[in-house]
Structure formats: C-alpha cells, structure tokens
Structure 1
Amino acid sequence: MPLHIHTPLFESRPLSLAAGRSVWLKLDALQPCGSFKLRGVGHACEVHHARGARHFVSSSGGNAGLAVAYAGRLLGVPVTVVVPETTTERAKELLRLEDAKVLVHGGSWQEANELAQTLIGPNDAFIHPFDDPLLWAGHASMIDEVAQAGFKPDALVLSVGGGGLLSGVVEGLKRNGWQDVPVLAVETQGAASLHAAAQAGHTVALERIASVATSLGAKRVAEQAMECLRTHPVESHLVSDREALQACERFLLDHRLLVEPACGAALALAYNAQALANYKQVMVVVCGGATATLEQIQAWLATCPE
C-alpha cells in the first residue's frame, strides 16, 4: 500500500454559490501529514528505501519536511530535516513529533538546502521538496483518483510554489488523456516565481520572497514547471496575501478545515466568479498545510495592507 491515502472529492456548495458555477474540491489537506506532499514524497521515499537507503535527508521548513519525516517513521528510516531560520516553532515541533532530527540553518530555503547537501552520505537519500521526477509521479496519483471517480473538470485550480504539484498534476492529466483540461496556477504576489518565468519565457530567480505564504517561497520554479507552461494549457494567476488569508478564514467557516495561506491562494481564486467565468465545472486542489494556526492567520490579516 502507498503511504498516502485516497482523499475525498466532492462538490462544494459554498464555493459553487460564491463562484456561480460548480466547484469541486480534492481534499488533500486530509493526508496524514497535512498536505498533498505525501503523495510524491512517500513515493520517492519508498523507491529510495527499496534501493537500500538507510537515512533520508530533506531541506524544508514545512510540508515537504513533514512528509519526509512521516514517511521515514513509517518505513523505519531515520530522517534529518534542515530548515531555515524563518521556520515557525510549530513546524519544528511537528517535525520532532515525527521523530525527525531538525537542524536550523540560514535565512532561506536555498541556504538550508546547501547545508543539507553536505549531509548526504553513501547510504543516504536526499528527498527534494519539489524538483524530482519521483515526486511528480507520486503527485500525479491525485489525478488518477479523480479519473477513477468518473469526474472530469473543465479546469483545475492549484497553488504553485516550486512547481512540484503543478508538474505532478500535469503528468497526471496527460497520462489520463486529459491534455485539454487547463490548469489555473495561482501564486501570491510576493512569491510569484512561475509568473515571472511565464513573462520571461524561462525560469528566473526572484530577488526575495515577500509573502506570508512561505510554502510558495521558492525563488525559482523547477524547470519542469516551465516545461508545463510550454506543453500544457496553464494560466498564471496572482492574488494578494490578504485575499489568500481571507480565503483561509472563509474556507474554515465553509468547510471546517484550516489550511495555510499557500493553499488559500488557490481558494481565493476559486471564490472569485470572474476568474472562473470561462468554465462550468472547476476542481480545486486543496493542498493543505500542517503548520497553519488560526491565530497566526488572524495576526497576519491584522497587519496586511487593504
């Protein structure tokens, strides 16, 4: 059995009324470690374990690290996660609850990742947060489940950070013969590395991440995400931090499920009737996020510009 679970797919009455069309939810926030990351990370960990890996190393201040820690605990493999200094105490606590060794280094994921690379021994496997074909193959299972349910959306909405979810979803669409289903890829304005790549025609490095949606905080998207832009109908959309945070609060009220601002970005678009005007039946990937707290979301909202 895979480490991830099949997650619910259903039509959301509140979002459908707000958007003026049928909006369906793929609730990957209900994965055991709190996010979709377990699909790809679990697959990668299982493959490396079968190849003889005896230690997993990860660089992530959030959901990817939690997925590696969860997978390692279930497989009986020790895990070291290097997190940047910006990582919340809650995230570090959740990592330790999964028995991971947590090292703090640098002011960004890039710096944490540099240290992580030095820790990889001959019997170790490095599990990348987003840029690995094993991850994309695992994430594609989400679309397999949707196809098996007999539901085909007119469009699919998801959030983009480093591009791992986008790459996996596009792989899943293609292997199910759904090359005609467009992907609405959503980022917050301060973490829009895919949008910058779309404008430039190639991946570019952002000078800095200026968004509360830190899970979207990859300064440069994976090259595979750029390939998705070239080979699949992908629309790049931007929302503000405030819109993402408000969507988190609204979704909690509508569906009693708390997600982090990175997921709120996709939900913000889903609540927007104008953004979805060209489609009758839309599916939103509710990617989740284990480190969010309502108190933190409300505190961010209190200081967010109108």
Structure 2
Amino acid sequence: MPLHINTPLIESRPLSAIAKSTIWLKLDALQPCGSFKLRGVGHACEIHHARGAKGFISSSGGNAGLAVAYAGRQLGIPVTVVVPETTTERAKELLAMEGAKVIVHGSSWQEANQLALTLTTSSDAFIHPFDDPLLWSGHATLIDEVAELGQKPDVVVLSVGGGGLLCGVVEGLRRNGWQDIPVIAVETEGAASFHAAIMAGKPVEIEGISSVATSLGAKRVCDQAFECSTTHHVKSVTVTDQDALDACQRFLLDHRVLVEPACGAALALAYIPHALDRYDNVLLVVCGGATATFAQIQQWSAKK
C-alpha cells in the first residue's frame, strides 16, 4: 500500500456559483501529513527504503519536510530535516511530532539545502522537496485518481512553487491520455519564480521571496517545470498575497478546511470574478498545507 491516500474529489457549489463554472476540488489537504507532498515524497521514500537506505535527509521547513518525516516514521527510518531560520515554530513542532531531528540553519531554503546535502552519507537518501523524477511520478497519482472516476476536466488549476506538483500533474495528464488539458499555474507576486522563467524564456533566479506564501518560496523553479511549459499548454498567472489570504479564509468558511496561502493562490482564481469563465469544468488542486494557523492568516491579512 502506498503511504498516501486516495483523496476525495468533490464539486464545490460555493466556488461554482462564484466562478460560473463547475469547480471540482481535489482535496489533497486531507493527506495524512496535510498536503499533496506525501504522494511524491512517499513514493521516493519507499523506493529508497527498498534500495536499503538507512536514513532520510531533507531540507524543508514546510510540507515536503513533514512528508519525509511522516514517511520515515511509517517506514521505521530516522529522518533529519534541515530548516531555514524563517521556519515557523508550528512547522518545527509538527516535524518533531513525527519524530524527525530538526536542524535550523541559514536564512533561506537554499542555505538549509546546502547543509542538508553535506549531512547525507552513502547510507542515507536525500529527499529533494520538488526536483526529482520520483516525486513527479508520485504526484501524478493525483491525476490517476481523477481519471479513474472518469471526470475529465477542461482545465487544471494548481499552485506552483518549485514546480514539483506542476511536473507531476503534467506527467499524470500525459499518462492518462489527457495531454490536451491545459494547466493554469498560479503564484503570488512575491514568489513568482515560474512566471519569471516564462518571461525570460528559461529558468532564472529571482532576487528574493517577499510573499507570505513561503511554501511557494523557491527562488528558481526546477528545469523540468519550465520544460513542461514548452511541451504542454501551461498558463502562468500571479495573484496578490491578499487574494491568497482572502481565499484561505473564504475556503475555510465554504468547506471547513484550512489551507495555507500557497494553496490559497490557486483557490483565489475561483474567488476572483470571471477568472475561470471560459471553462465549464475546472479541476482545482487543493494542495493543502499544515504549517499555517488561522491566527497567522488573520495576522498576515491585517498587515496587508
């Protein structure tokens, strides 16, 4: 059995009414560790476990680190997660709850990642947060589940950070014969590394992350994510932090599920009038996020 679960696919009446389209929600916020990351991370961890890995090393203070910690606990493998100084206390508490060793290092994910790589021995497996074909293959199961239900959408809407989910969804569409379905990749304006790559015609590193949607905070998307934009119909869209925060709060009211601003970025398109008018059936990936609290979302909104 895989470590992730098949998540519900439900029609959202509140969002459908606003968007004037039928909005289908793929509720990956209900994964055991709170986000879609478990699909790819769980798959990678199972593969490395089968190959004899004695430890898992990760570099993420967010959902990827939580997924590695959860997978390690389930497989009986010790986990070390290196997180940057910006990581919230809530995230560190959740990592510790899963039994992971947490090391705080550096002011950015890049610095935490550099240390994590030096800690990885020949008996360990390094689990990258987003740039690994094993992850993409695991994330593609999200589309497999939709295809098994026979619910073919006109478009898939998702959030993009480092690009792992985008790569997985495109792989899933292709392996199910749905390569004609476009993808809308949404970012907040202060974390728009994918949009920067589209504008530049190649992956580029943005100067910094100024968005509250820190789970989108990869300063450079993986090469495969950009490659997907050249071989598949992918539209890049940016929204404001306030759009994402408003979507988080409205979604909590509409569906009793709390997600973080990174997920709110994709949800925002359903709440912005006319953003999805041209599509009849929309698949919206509710990617989740376990590290944001409602109090934090309210505080961020108050500062905007």
Does the alignment pair 1:180 with 2:180?
A: yes
Q: Secondary structure at the match of 1:181?
A: coil
Partner residue of 1:226? 226
Partner residue of 1:263? 263
CA contact (8 A) 1:58 1:81 kept: yes
CA distance in structure 1 between the aligned counterparts of 2:244 and 2:165, rounded to whole angstroms: 18
Q: Give, as a single letter, the amino acid of the residue that structure 1 aligns with 2:257.
A: L
Q: Give, as a single letter, the amino acid of the residue that structure 1 aligns with 2:208.
A: R
**How many pairs were matched up?**
304
Q: Give, as a single letter, the amino acid of the residue that structure 2 aligns with 1:175.
A: R
TM-score, structure 2 length as denominator? 1.00
Q: Give, as a single letter, the amino acid of the residue that structure 2 aligns with 1:273.
A: P
Partner residue of 2:120? 120
Q: Give, as a single letter, the amino acid of the residue that structure 1 aligns with 2:170.
A: V
CA distance in structure 1 between the aligned counterparts of 2:258 and 2:232, rounded to whole angstroms: 31
Structure 1: tracts of 5 or more residues without a match: none
CA contact (8 A) 1:16 1:23 kept: yes
Q: Give, as a single letter, the amino acid of the residue that structure 2 aligns with 1:266.
A: A
Partner residue of 2:103? 103
Q: Secondary structure at the match of 1:190?
A: helix
Summarize deviations over 1:26-49 as a string: whole Å, max 9, x none.
000000000000000000000000
CA distance in structure 2 between the aligned counterparts of 1:193 and 1:35, rounded to whole angstroms: 21
Summarize deviations over 1:88-112 as a string: whole Å, max 9, x none.
0000000000000000000000000
CA contact (8 A) 1:157 1:270 kept: no
CA distance in structure 2 between the aligned counterparts of 1:168 and 1:277, rounded to whole angstroms: 26
CA distance in structure 1 between the aligned counterparts of 2:169 and 2:278, rounded to whole angstroms: 21
Does the alignment pair 1:132 with 2:132?
A: yes
CA distance in structure 1 between the aligned counterparts of 2:230 and 2:200, rounded to whole angstroms: 13
| Identity rate, percent | 75
Q: CA deviation at 1:275?
A: 1.5
Q: Secondary structure at the match of 2:72?
A: helix
CA contact (8 A) 1:41 1:135 kept: yes
Q: CA deviation at 1:246?
A: 0.2
Q: CA deviation at 1:175?
A: 0.2
TM-score, structure 1 length as denominator? 0.99
CA distance in structure 2 between the aligned counterparts of 1:68 and 1:146, rounded to whole angstroms: 25
Partner residue of 2:297? 297
Summarize deviations over 1:66-125 as a string: whole Å, max 9, x none.
000000000000000000000000000000000000000000000000000100111000
CA distance in structure 1 between the aligned counterparts of 2:292 and 2:138, rounded to whole angstroms: 24
Q: CA deviation at 1:272?
A: 2.4
Q: CA deviation at 1:274?
A: 1.6
| Aligned counterparts, 1:67-86, within 5 A | 67-86=67-86
| Aligned counterparts, 1:49-88, within 5 A | 49-88=49-88
Q: Secondary structure at the match of 1:291?
A: coil
CA distance in structure 2 between the aligned counterparts of 1:272 and 1:249, rounded to whole angstroms: 14
Summarize deviations over 1:207-248 as a string: whole Å, max 9, x none.
000100000000000000011100000000000000000000
CA distance in structure 2 between the aligned counterparts of 1:90 and 1:273, rounded to whole angstroms: 34
Summarize deviations over 1:167-203 as a string: whole Å, max 9, x none.
0000000000001100000000000000000011000
CA contact (8 A) 1:194 1:236 kept: yes
CA distance in structure 1 between the aligned counterparts of 2:21 and 2:170, rounded to whole angstroms: 23
Partner residue of 1:158? 158
Q: Give, as a single letter, the amino acid of the residue that structure 2 aligns with 1:88.
A: T
CA distance in structure 2 between the aligned counterparts of 1:249 and 1:208, rounded to whole angstroms: 26
Summarize deviations over 1:134-166 as a string: whole Å, max 9, x none.
000000000000000110000010000000000
Q: Secondary structure at the match of 2:191?
A: coil
Structure 2: tracts of 5 or more residues without a match: none
Q: Give, as a single letter, the amino acid of the residue that structure 2 aligns with 1:94.
A: L
Partner residue of 2:211? 211
Q: Secondary structure at the match of 1:24?
A: strand
- Which runs of 4 or more aligned residues in structure 1 lie more than 4 Å from their structure 2 counterparts after TM superposition? none
CA distance in structure 2 between the aligned counterparts of 1:292 and 1:157, rounded to whole angstroms: 21
CA distance in structure 2 between the aligned counterparts of 1:111 and 1:196, rounded to whole angstroms: 22
CA contact (8 A) 1:155 1:184 kept: yes
Q: Secondary structure at the match of 1:4?
A: coil
